[in-house]
Amino acid sequence: MIAPDDPVFLDCDALARKVAEAACLAGAKLLAMRAARDVKLKPDGSPVCSADLAADHAAKQALARLLPDFPVISEESAGEIAPGPVFILLDPLDGTREFLAGGESYCVAIAVVRAGRPVAGAIAAPQLARLWFAGDRAYSQRLAQDGAALGTPQPARVRPLPAAGPTTLVSRFHGDALSDAVAREMGSASTMPASSAVKFGLIAGGEADLHIRAGQTMEWDIAAGEAILCAAGGAVLTLDGERPRYGCADRGFRNPSFVAAASEDLARQAVAAARHLTEEKS
């Protein structure tokens, strides 16, 4: 079991490169099983297929080799390991509905959590040929058709807010009325549909500015994205104006509603808009 003061945390970029390698290997498994359609419903009503389980196995194998002392809490086995001061959150297929529908913006998301906060993370989106990862700094990289990383990682950085207003990312399968209302209140210049934690990478890389999510998400859905977005200059805040905490088994690893934005100022504006709209409605 790794300790919170282990010297490995002196180089979080090295941690990020290791979780990125594991994410790429799991992503390659998803590409190889692109035709999988053997869907079952989990107790919470969300879908799972053989590709989820194969990617889960591939990621865990890679993490056991790359980061052997880190316990792994995965979407597919969340009840098996209790969170400690240090652990890994794994979503082997974020965007299962997107995957099953033949879409492209599904991904593998992996984060290292220390004292309740993500310190390194990676998102591999094999169908989009995109990889984002971050420790102290954020990077993006292209992926080959077999899921392997190509070329040299490039620094990822959020963009300044466009004069016309933010481009807001909206979920393809999980929209909600409050999120749509906040986007309108924020004067969104345009909306861009996307699934999964890919949305965090798009904001981190300066391709969009804002994402609001008032519906249910789980910790493994957003931890890697928060690590990447914050390292790129952005922010993730709950609608209470706080930074998310991870390892909350007492609430079933469910997240509060949150905002992901290209700056903390933009995030706090969106939080204020959500509060105003909620008060108006009540």
Confidence of residue 94 (pLDDT cuts 50, 70, 90): very high
CA 222, 113, 82, 48 torsion-angle sign? positive
Q: Given this model, what pLDDT does residue 79 score?
A: 79
Summarize the confidence of residues 18-46 as an average pLDDT: 87
Parallel, antiparallel, or unpaired for β 149-155 and 167-171? unpaired
pLDDT (tens digit, 9 = 90+) per residue, 223-274? 999 999 999 999 999 999 999 999 999 999 999 999 999 999 999 999 999 9
Q: Given this model, what pLDDT does residue 175 score?
A: 66
Q: Given this model, what pLDDT does residue 43 score?
A: 72
- Could you give the 3-state DSSP secondary structure of residue 10? helix
Question: Are residues 225 and 121 in contact, defined by beta-carbon separation less than 8 angstroms?
Answer: yes
Summarize the confidence of residues 112-138 as an average pLDDT: 97
Give the rounded percent of residues in the chain with a pLDDT score beyond 70: 98
Q: Which of 223, 62, 229, 221 is nearest to 140 (CA)?
A: 229
169 CB contacts (<8 Å, ≥6 apart)? 191, 192, 193, 194, 199, 202, 203, 208, 210, 211
Helices then strands, counting H and E runs in the chain, come out as 7, 14
pLDDT (tens digit, 9 = 90+) per residue, 38-83? 878 777 767 778 889 999 999 999 999 999 999 999 998 887 888 9
Q: Given this model, what pLDDT does residue 174 score?
A: 66
Q: Given this model, what pLDDT does residue 202 score?
A: 98
What helix, strand, coil percent values describe the chain, rounded to 5? 35, 25, 35
CATH 3.30.540.10 fits 7-155, yes or no: yes
Please, which residues bridge with residue 137 across strands?
none
Q: Given this model, what pLDDT does residue 46 score?
A: 77
Q: Taking the CB of residue 14, how many other CB atoms lie within 10 A of it?
A: 13
pLDDT score of 37 more than 80: no
Question: Are residues 112 and 120 in contact, defined by beta-carbon separation less than 8 angstroms?
Answer: yes
Q: Given this model, what pLDDT does residue 49 score?
A: 82
Give dist(CA 205, CA 153) in Å, integer: 12
pLDDT (tens digit, 9 = 90+) per residue, 177-223? 888 888 899 898 888 888 889 999 999 999 999 999 988 899 999 99
Could you state, in order of their start, the residue ranges of all structural domains in the chain?
7-155, 167-281
Confidence of residue 101 (pLDDT cuts 50, 70, 90): confident
Fold classification of 167-281 (topology level): D-Maltodextrin-Binding Protein; domain 2 (3.40.190)
